Amino acid sequence: MFGGKNIQKRYGAREVLRDVTFAIETNKIVGVFGLNGAGKTTLLRILSGLDGYYKGTVYKTDFEDVAYMAVENMYPPEMTVKGLIEFCATFMPKQDTAKIMEQIQEQGIKPKSFLRNLSSGMRQYVKFLLTVYSGASVCLFDEPLTNLDVNMRERIIQTLISEINEERLFIVTTHEIKEIERIIDGFYVLKNGTFSPYYECEQIVDETGASVEEFYKEKVNAKE
Amino acid sequence: MDFKSNQTIVSQIITYMKKQIFSGKLPPGHKIAPIREFAAFCAVNPNTITKAYAALEEEKLIYTDSTLGKFVTPNVVYLRAKRLEYLRGEVQKFRCELTECGVSEEEFIKLIKEK
Amino acid sequence: MRKSNGKLFLYELKKTFLIPSLLAGIYLLVALFDTVVFNVGAGAARDYDRYSHIFLYVFYAVVLTLFIYRVFTMRKLYEKMRIAHEKLFWIHVLYIFTYCFLCTTALLLVGTLRVYKMKNGYYAEYVGYARHSLFALQGKTKWYFLFGASVGLTGVITYSVAVFIQHLFVCRDKWYFKAVWGCVFAAAILSTHFVITRTYTCPALGNNEGFATPLPYGGMSYQTYKDFFEHGLSSPFDPFSALLPSAEILRCDLCWNIANPWVLLSGLFVIVFAFVSIGFLHRAKNANYAYTVQKEKNNEIEN
């Protein structure tokens, strides 16, 4: 189980997250959708433990690690690809470094190259690999598909499919609903600082006959 | 594999598998791809495949051998009956379509022979 | 926070030992070579003292830059791995102290070797030289080997100030609270400075009851030094009789006077204050991240 209870976050007077409560079991890929500025990144930062300034609780039972694929760049200017992988390997003992190196080389990324010199897409791919192969049970992916070309998106989708298992759980935020809807079990809509109830993809399509994307578009734009 | 977005993926996979079995592309007793492999092939969540296989298993079209994996049932007679049942269902649906267009049986047979 | 002590320890070691070791290693090897191969007269010994003096400043600057750069640029990555700021602080403190201590001591030992050689080769010059040399154990009190510790302490205090400033900026407190805290810290440092200047001590070790031989005070000539003695200090004696009035005396500005208890305490106070500030400045952080819940409690949470 991984979840949050009454998570609240303000930036000064502005309340970004009002009351986020949810719980997810393992062996699921869950989407978190919302408009720009809804607070998806803010929420993921809180769930990953990066941001400690919030009210409410983040909890998990039965497992230790949470890995987070961030949008922002956190590395020092002189860090190389290899350096970052080594750093993560040091503190994530279950990391599958061999797999990461293999994937990197397949994309033609030289391990000794500086992270700052990679294209933003390549850099994002490196971050993705470090998260999905970190060995962590809970993996949070913040916009993993944005910025990437068709082939890399395919790769990411395939990797997510092959890496999910009974002990792990993935949370993905993205705007590319059409591409992600085939692999997510369900999703939440983050709107007005709270989560919608959990929508299970199969159920939604079955009951409404609409695609996930259409359903989401309606929900996110609904007047309350 | 392409999926329509207004039909659940599970039902689309079930239909796909049924067609594979009924057309003989997956003959009786033939081994079926493991869940993960098939999920990768379809580019869908493994849970979706799990549900699809469970539904097929409930219809007794496939079975699980605990050590060797999943297989199409070897029961040829049963399969033939299921195939017929499926086809009859599809034909019935199509018949309704044609009735709504006002197509008679003779006109339909002529259309089929047209190619 | 995470419990991987050993890993952080080794990782920081791996990433920081190369530059200081290379720098110090090359200088010391050259100095050692020179000491062993050539004769050491007063001129040669004086040269070593002068160059090593400059080198120590360079080494100090390099080590501090290295660690302060690391603590500023690696902060986000360490937060991502949920490593406590306090833990990183202590590990850096340990390494800064160790690098400074080892380098200074090594310089001291090589210098001692040089002066020893001088004793055997140029005894007349040796007598006058040994006591006022910066990097030699001869002619000094037995506690002189703590020279390295005092340089190390200065390094740690400087680092503490840098870390405090970093956290002051990075923490998410209200601006006025940060301003208050910043002022308190500045006051702490100023009072430290006050303590130092009010005691009759010099920045290098010595010039107090703990040391039998006072060390050079100020980059001044012997005459000026003698004048200072006569005006300021309690134990007037003249170990520099062999020196010419215009002879240059070196001092080391990197030394925190650990021989004076008040000065020592004020330095330690800055370090402890910085450490406590780290925890305090981040106190608004939710401590409730990801605790393990008993199975029964799960039923409370609904989708």
- pLDDT given at position C5: 65
Answer whether B touches C (≥3 Cβ pairs < 8 Å).
no
- pLDDT given at position C204: 41
Q: Assess whether A79 and A152 both reside in one domain.
A: yes
The alpha carbon of A206 is separated from its chain's Cα centroid by a whole number of angstroms, namely 26
pLDDT for B107 beyond 90: no
C298 touching A (Cβ < 8 Å): yes
- Is A54 inside a domain boundary? yes
Domain ranges of chain C: 5-233+244-282
Residue C156 phi, psi (nearest 5): -65, -40
Residue C133 phi, psi (nearest 5): -75, 150
Interface test with B, best of A26, A157, A182, A201 (most B CBs within 10 A): A182
* Pairwise CA distance, residues A141 & C101, whole Å: 45
- pLDDT given at position A210: 87
* Pairwise CA distance, residues C260 & C267, whole Å: 11
| Percentage of the residues of chain B whose pLDDT score is greater than 70 | 99
pLDDT for C211 beyond 70: no
* Pairwise CA distance, residues A137 & A170, whole Å: 8
Instruction: Answer yes or no: do A53 and C172 touch at CB < 8 A.
Output: yes
Sign of the Cα torsion C97, C101, C103, C104 reads positive
How far CA A4 is from CA of A32, A46, A197, in Å, comes to 14, 10, 13
Q: Assess whether A8 and A119 both reside in one domain.
A: no
Q: Assess whether A76 and A128 both reside in one domain.
A: yes
Q: Assess whether A48 and A67 both reside in one domain.
A: no
Any residues with CB less than 8 A from the CB of C130 and at least 6 apart, and which? C115, C118, C119, C136, C138, C139
What ipTM score was computed for the predicted complex, to two decimals? 0.90
- Is A198 inside a domain boundary? no
Instruction: Answer yes or no: do B6 and A157 touch at CB < 8 A.
Output: no
Under 8 Å between Cβ of C115 and C129 = yes
> What residues form DSSP beta bridges with A172?
A31, A141
* Pairwise CA distance, residues A174 & C198, whole Å: 64
> What residue of A is the nearest CA neighbor of C79?
A50
Q: Assess whether A57 and A73 both reside in one domain.
A: no
Of the CA atoms within 13 Å of residue C140, those in its CB half-sphere come to: 25
Q: What's chain B's Rg over C-alpha atoms?
A: 17
- pLDDT given at position A76: 93
Number of compact structural domains in chain A: 2
Burial class (CB in 10 A: 0-12, 13-18, 19+), B90: exposed
Instruction: Answer yes or no: do A185 and B10 touch at CB < 8 A.
Output: no
Instruction: Answer yes or no: do C289 and A49 touch at CB < 8 A.
Output: yes
* Pairwise CA distance, residues B45 & A162, whole Å: 9
**pLDDT: which is higher, B13 or C297:** B13
Instruction: Answer yes or no: do B6 and A206 touch at CB < 8 A.
Output: no
- The CA distance from C160 to the nearest CA of chain A, in Å, is 21
- Is A160 inside a domain boundary? yes
pLDDT for C208 beyond 70: no
SS (H, E, C) chain C: CCCCHHHHHHHHHHHHCHHHHHHHHHHHHHHHHHHHHCCCCHHHHHHHHHHHHHHHHHHHHHHHHHHHHHHHHCHHHHHHCCCCHHHHHHHHHHHHHHHHHHHHHHHHHHHHHHHHHHHHHCHHHHHHHHHHCCCCCCCCCHHHHHHHHHHHHHHHHHHHHHHHHHHHHHCCCCHHHHHHHHHHHHHHHHHHHHHHHHCCCCCCCCCCCCCCCCCCCCCCEHHHHHHHHHHHCCCCCCCCCCCCCCCECCCCCCCCCCCCHHHHHHHHHHHHHHHHHHHHHCCCCCCCEEECCCHHHHHHCCC
pLDDT for C65 beyond 60: yes
pLDDT for C233 beyond 50: no
Average pLDDT, chain A: 92
Q: Assess whether A90 and A176 both reside in one domain.
A: yes
**pLDDT: which is higher, C288 or C215:** C288
- The CA distance from B40 to the nearest CA of chain A, in Å, is 6
Under 8 Å between Cβ of C25 and C110 = no
Any residues with CB less than 8 A from the CB of C297 and at least 6 apart, and which? none
- pLDDT given at position A161: 95
- pLDDT given at position C209: 34
pLDDT for C73 beyond 80: yes
B3 touching A (Cβ < 8 Å): yes
A206 touching B (Cβ < 8 Å): yes
- pLDDT given at position B103: 84
Under 8 Å between Cβ of A57 and A96 = no
* Pairwise CA distance, residues A66 & A138, whole Å: 5
A211 touching B (Cβ < 8 Å): yes
- Alpha carbon dihedral A133, A137, A142, A145, in 10-degree steps, equals 50
Instruction: State the distance between the two ends of chain A, measured CA to CA, in whole angstroms.
Output: 30
Q: Assess whether A164 and A99 both reside in one domain.
A: yes
Q: Which CATH fold topology does B9-114 show?
A: Arc Repressor Mutant, subunit A (1.10.10)
User: Which residue of B8, B43, B51 is in closest CB contact with A157?
Assistant: B43
- Span C234-289, pLDDT tens digits: 444 444 555 555 556 566 778 777 777 777 888 899 999 999 999 888 888 887 77
- pLDDT given at position C257: 73
Kindly report the CA angle at B31 between B29 and B36, in degrees rounded to 5? 150
Q: Assess whether A52 and A12 both reside in one domain.
A: yes
How would DSSP label each residue in B49-60? Answer: HHHHHHHHHHTT
- Is A28 inside a domain boundary? no
Q: What is the mean pLDDT of residues B80-84?
A: 92
pLDDT for C303 beyond 50: no
- Span C74-92, pLDDT tens digits: 999 998 888 889 999 999 9
Interface test with C, best of A57, A73, A91, A200 (most C CBs within 10 A): A91
Domain ranges of chain B: 9-114
- Span A81-120, pLDDT tens digits: 999 999 999 999 899 999 999 999 999 999 999 999 999 9
Instruction: Answer yes or no: do A162 and B10 touch at CB < 8 A.
Output: no
Q: What is the mean pLDDT of residues A153-169?
A: 94
Instruction: Answer yes or no: do B45 and A206 touch at CB < 8 A.
Output: no
- pLDDT given at position C299: 52
Residue C130 phi, psi (nearest 5): -50, -45
Tell me the pLDDT band of C202, cut-offs 50, 70 and 90.
very low
Q: What is the mean pLDDT of residues B52-66?
A: 92
Residue A155 phi, psi (nearest 5): -55, -45
Q: Taking Cα atoms as reference points, which of C84, C109, C113, C72 lies closest to residue C4?
A: C84
Find the chain A residues whose C-beta atoms sit closer than 8 A to any C-beta of C.
1, 3, 5, 21-23, 48-50, 52-62, 66, 68, 70, 74-77, 87-88, 90-92, 197-198
Average pLDDT, chain C: 78
- Alpha carbon dihedral C100, C106, C111, C112, in 10-degree steps, equals 120
- pLDDT given at position C115: 86
- Span B93-103, pLDDT tens digits: 888 888 888 88
- pLDDT given at position B112: 83
Q: What is the mean pLDDT of residues A195-206?
A: 92
What CATH number does the domain containing A89 carry? 3.40.50.300
* Pairwise CA distance, residues C187 & B113, whole Å: 100
The alpha carbon of C119 is separated from its chain's Cα centroid by a whole number of angstroms, namely 31
B26 touching A (Cβ < 8 Å): no
* Pairwise CA distance, residues C227 & C245, whole Å: 11
pLDDT for C66 beyond 80: yes
- Is A217 inside a domain boundary? no
pLDDT for A2 beyond 50: yes
A94 touching B (Cβ < 8 Å): no
Q: Assess whether A72 and A101 both reside in one domain.
A: yes
Instruction: Answer yes or no: do A22 and C303 touch at CB < 8 A.
Output: yes
Q: How many helices (H) and strands (E) does chain A have?
A: 8, 10
Q: In what order do the strands lie in the sheet with B69-72?
A: B31-32, B69-72, B62-65
Phi-psi sector, A190: left (phi>0), alpha (psi -120 to 50), beta: beta
- pLDDT given at position A12: 81
> What residue of A is the nearest CA neighbor of B44?
A183
* Pairwise CA distance, residues C299 & A169, whole Å: 20
User: Which residue of B8, B46, B47 is in closest CB contact with A206?
Assistant: B8
Of the CA atoms within 13 Å of residue B13, those in its CB half-sphere come to: 25
Q: Assess whether A74 and A181 both reside in one domain.
A: yes
Chain C residues with CB under 8 Å of A91 CB are 2, 4, 7-8, 81, 83
Chain C residues with CB under 8 Å of A85 CB are none
Instruction: Answer yes or no: do B43 and A182 touch at CB < 8 A.
Output: yes
Under 8 Å between Cβ of C126 and C46 = no
B10 touching A (Cβ < 8 Å): yes
Tell me the pLDDT band of A132, cut-offs 50, 70 and 90.
very high
Answer whether A touches B (≥3 Cβ pairs < 8 Å).
yes
Instruction: Answer yes or no: do A202 and B40 touch at CB < 8 A.
Output: no
Tell me the pLDDT band of C219, cut-offs 50, 70 and 90.
very low
List the single range of B12-26, B30-44, B81-95, C209-223 with lowest mean pLDDT: C209-223
Range of the structural domain that residue A131 is part of: 63-187
* Pairwise CA distance, residues A153 & A145, whole Å: 6
* Pairwise CA distance, residues C86 & C92, whole Å: 10
User: Which residue of A157, A158, A182 is in closest CB contact with B9?
Assistant: A182
Instruction: Answer yes or no: do C298 and A23 touch at CB < 8 A.
Output: yes
Interface test with A, best of C286, C296, C298 (most A CBs within 10 A): C286
**pLDDT: which is higher, C193 or A91:** A91
Per-residue DSSP letter, A80? B
B17-26 in b/e burial notation, b at 16+ Cβ within 10 A? bbeebbeeeb
Under 8 Å between Cβ of B44 and B8 = no
Instruction: Answer yes or no: do C286 and A53 touch at CB < 8 A.
Output: yes
> What residue of B is the nearest CA neighbor of A209?
B6
- Span A6-55, pLDDT tens digits: 999 998 889 999 999 999 999 999 999 999 989 999 999 999 988 888 99
